[in-house]
Structure 1
């Protein structure tokens, strides 16, 4: 997904599983499982286990996780849960790629919530979020025009949001900012649903975006990607 997290130095990785699809249906194709600091949104700075699912139907211009588009290994849900337990973080972020492109993602999220984890799900906003357990915080992207994928926004997801969920706009230009500002003014969001504006790291000067938000008194939260400030761009994969 466009601004999904990169593991920090020394992040633990999942062991490679067999590449052949298992006979059992309770499995997901996994790119990596690792423990690091959450770099974005409401839980920024918290020790978090990231479960990165393989595959994404979108091709955003600024995507920094293209390595998750293909490959990966099939892991039964039981094995994923065991790996999460081993990494010992109470926060778990299910990300991608686009995690909702795999139907069993909802089952994994439900199991994580049942086990008492604080769960977030990062989704590109083009697929229906209603099957995802509302105990998890669903972090839903709204794709701006400069992403190249604005036509894929699934606007009926807005009706499914709760105050526990979050919206995210990745801003690439002044035109993107104006478009996103106008969308925020139109949306009817539940109380407590945070709206994040994040500069695209290679296209948008962060200071400019911050100044525009202040000048317009915009009721959103500005964010930078903490993990990139700490560890830089993810190494080639």
Structure 2
């Protein structure tokens, strides 16, 4: 199948990960099997429109940027996402994939920067973590924990240690927006001398919860 169901394609500043602040084209695929309680893209669970892969590549080219993020929802729900990722890499784009960590990432093109969540207990979806995905992470990839509380932080610290994550790739600790005080998280990271990158969602501080920004 050479089509994908797309919720939106938009141009904005990257709000997360290690390219934060860089103008980026976002391709948001429709559909997700998870229901994290803090989800800010539930509008992408259903609906959307079918796009041919060639149409997506053409649309992306109109924005004149080399940074592309394929996101959702959960992009890997749609099998043609793998083909799109390869096409974007072939076209010379610096391509990243935002994925929940609940679906197999082993077939993702190795040129793609995988930004993979590990779901915490207070996300409501901890049981969906597919820990064997860790074996397929490369040094250019990133692991993200969205933390809702001190308890989530302590849990994430244990996962960080048990899987030796910071030796595999960059690890991101992010406070759940309007739920965990970012300053508290910063202080905990410094106190424990963790080798992680703290991040906030830049786009939300600029534009709030407006979809497509």
Name the TM-score class by shorter chain.
over 0.9
Deviation sequence 1:3-23 (CA, Å, 0-9, x none)? xxxxxxxxxxxxxxxxxxxxx
Q: Do structure 1's residue 35 and structure 2's residue 14 form an aligned pair?
A: no
Deviation at 1:65, TM superposition (A): 0.3
Q: Do structure 1's residue 156 and structure 2's residue 100 form an aligned pair?
A: no
Distance 1:145 1:190, change over 3 A: closer
In the other structure, the counterpart of 1:106 is: 82
C-alpha RMSD over aligned residues: 1.3
Unaligned stretches of 5+ residues in structure 1:
1-24
* TM-score, normalization by structure 1: 0.87
Query: Would you say the 8 A contact 2:141–2:170 is kept in 1?
Result: yes
In the other structure, the counterpart of 2:159 is: 183
Higher helix share: 2
- May I ask how many residue pairs the two structures share in their alignment? 212
Q: Do structure 1's residue 97 and structure 2's residue 86 form an aligned pair?
A: no
Distance 1:229 1:190, change over 3 A: closer
* TM-score, normalization by structure 2: 0.97
In the other structure, the counterpart of 2:196 is: 220
Unaligned stretches of 5+ residues in structure 2:
none
* Structure 1 range deviating more: 147-156 or 82-91: 82-91
Distance 1:189 1:216, change over 3 A: closer
* Structure 1 range deviating more: 165-174 or 189-198: 189-198
Aligned ranges for residues 173-212 of structure 1 at < 5 Å? 173-189=149-165, 191=167, 193-212=169-188
Aligned ranges for residues 116-195 of structure 1 at < 5 Å? 116-189=92-165, 191=167, 193-195=169-171
Deviation sequence 1:88-117 (CA, Å, 0-9, x none)? 111000000000010000000000000000
In the other structure, the counterpart of 1:10 is: none
Deviation at 1:50, TM superposition (A): 0.3
Deviation sequence 1:19-66 (CA, Å, 0-9, x none)? xxxxxx200000000111101011111110000000000000000000
